[in-house]
Structure 1
């Protein structure tokens, strides 16, 4: 069955329930994973620290996987990032899914200025971090800043999902187990998957799997809510037409059909980012969607 996960609400979005309750609710609904965004100074709603939110989710659950969607590694010293991930692996019982991204322009450059990292260097620094992150997490020697570093306790290296659009595919092939594609429709993913397969063959690497993040509203939606969401997504570099095409809305049956279309072009995991305010109810409905999906992975 295609795996279905859900983003936990950003800080303050749902004052009726905290991350522990939302994570338990997702586990009870039968979803595969829970995810959090990551940034220091986001341009939209504020984010709590992703590692602490995921630690809370891990402590409140037993089965559901916990994912970074995605960790902006270049904002952190890479050894600290590795220490945080390894600790989460131990605390959660190896349930971490490590999404990694370079941080795009949607949130501006305030966070980068705050930590003294030039915004224009974020891609290069992300690659440099990915070069050593697996060894650091595993407790193996790695060279950081010209010094050999070995962290303890080492941990199982989690699956690495590289977030970003088609421009990041070379990074996916070089460093990733999966491509984390956000706000894409089936046609866009199918086109990019062809390029991803060609790059993997060119570099003698196995074809990375594909996880897709989609903006979702299940059930009857208030008038104008989907339109407002489409307009908000244009801040991520999409036209309003592209944003509308990427939205997944409708009854559980209709949403399951849209998810099946993504599965048909090679997506093995779908991360739902609900935009209606009734987040606990949305999680329940996503559980019903997951049960409607065809078997097979």
Structure 2
């Protein structure tokens, strides 16, 4: 089971936190660790590529994922160079989540781009990425006419997961992705998105990308009806959801309680479940997530 982690945020010793958390996730038997990608959001978020490099250096097996990278905030060649470097440092363990990001003006001003360009810039990056990583001469949008970029050393193209829930994101997933990584969806909404993705893939004559879900979880040792309360508060304050919708999306409770809720998402088509931990002891959350993973596997759910 994958887990999302934002280790070291606000910490004076973030690198140690990242290494310890990544090692603990691996030792607990989890499948991957993911981190978000922001530039100037106002929240204390470390650079995603550096976080994943630290996680990769501290582990041997577990995969490291951008959940998700916002390539439109970067020059395409620089973004590709970061991904290639992480592929080399990790031994090919990178999972590349990609999304367009929100339209918050401040973050885009910090990057020097207009938020209105983010969809177009993301598509340009996804089109160029295979050639850039292969070290082939690549023409980039905005470069002088006839100019070609060649990156070295080359690196394998990682598995690409497209984030977002809009129609444009589903079309992007069908065009460029091996997976669609949804968030803040009910099981019914996830199933509808997966069905639409299958239609779009059929129109293009390509294999249907896999469906994944990022969800927010506060696991507890024992069953608890109130465990999801802090998750609800977060979704209301940070994500702007109304309380009823937040309560429908927040997961919390003992391992079996959480596994039962996740089974609903698996039945709706989610083959990959990325859990965002809530709780003062992140390592203990990882241990409880490992128990949840075992319960799902026992029920025949591929808790990848």
Give the TM-score, by structure 1 length: 0.92
Query: What is the Cα deviation at residue 210 of structure 1?
Result: 0.9
Query: What is the Cα deviation at residue 150 of structure 1?
Result: 1.5
Query: What is the Cα deviation at residue 132 of structure 1?
Result: 0.4
Partner in structure 2 of residue 251 of structure 1: 254
Q: Which moved more, 1:91-100 or 1:219-228?
A: 219-228
* Higher relative contact order, chain-length normalized (CA < 8 Å, sep 6+): 1
Partner in structure 2 of residue 134 of structure 1: 130
Report SS of the residue matched to 1:217: strand
Partner in structure 2 of residue 269 of structure 1: 272
Cα distance in 2, alignment partners of residues 47 and 156 from structure 1: 27
Cα distance in 1, alignment partners of residues 279 and 248 from structure 2: 17
Partner in structure 1 of residue 69 of structure 2: 71
TM-superposition CA deviations, 1:238-275 (whole Å, max 9, x none): 43322211111111011111222211122111100012
Would you say the 8 A contact 2:210–2:271 is kept in 1? yes
Would you say the 8 A contact 1:9–1:279 is kept in 2? no
Alignment root-mean-square deviation, CA? 2.1
Partner in structure 2 of residue 9 of structure 1: 6
Cα distance in 1, alignment partners of residues 241 and 177 from structure 2: 24
Partner in structure 2 of residue 278 of structure 1: 281
Cα distance in 1, alignment partners of residues 252 and 239 from structure 2: 19
| Contiguous gaps of at least 5 residues in structure 1 | none
Would you say the 8 A contact 1:217–1:274 is kept in 2? yes
Partner in structure 2 of residue 22 of structure 1: 21
Number of corresponding residues: 291
| Contiguous gaps of at least 5 residues in structure 2 | none
Query: Do residues 183 (structure 1) and 203 (structure 2) align?
Result: no
Cα distance in 2, alignment partners of residues 13 and 27 from structure 1: 24
68, 87, 90: which is aligned to 1:89?
87
Would you say the 8 A contact 2:217–2:231 is kept in 1? no
Cα distance in 1, alignment partners of residues 111 and 83 from structure 2: 20
CA 1:173–1:238 in 2, change beyond 3 Å: closer, same or farther?
A: farther
Cα distance in 1, alignment partners of residues 300 and 11 from structure 2: 33
Cα distance in 1, alignment partners of residues 212 and 110 from structure 2: 31
214, 229, 232: which is aligned to 1:230?
232
Partner in structure 1 of residue 148 of structure 2: 148
Cα distance in 1, alignment partners of residues 40 and 151 from structure 2: 28
Cα distance in 1, alignment partners of residues 266 and 255 from structure 2: 16
Cα distance in 2, alignment partners of residues 171 and 237 from structure 1: 25
Give the TM-score, by structure 2 length: 0.90
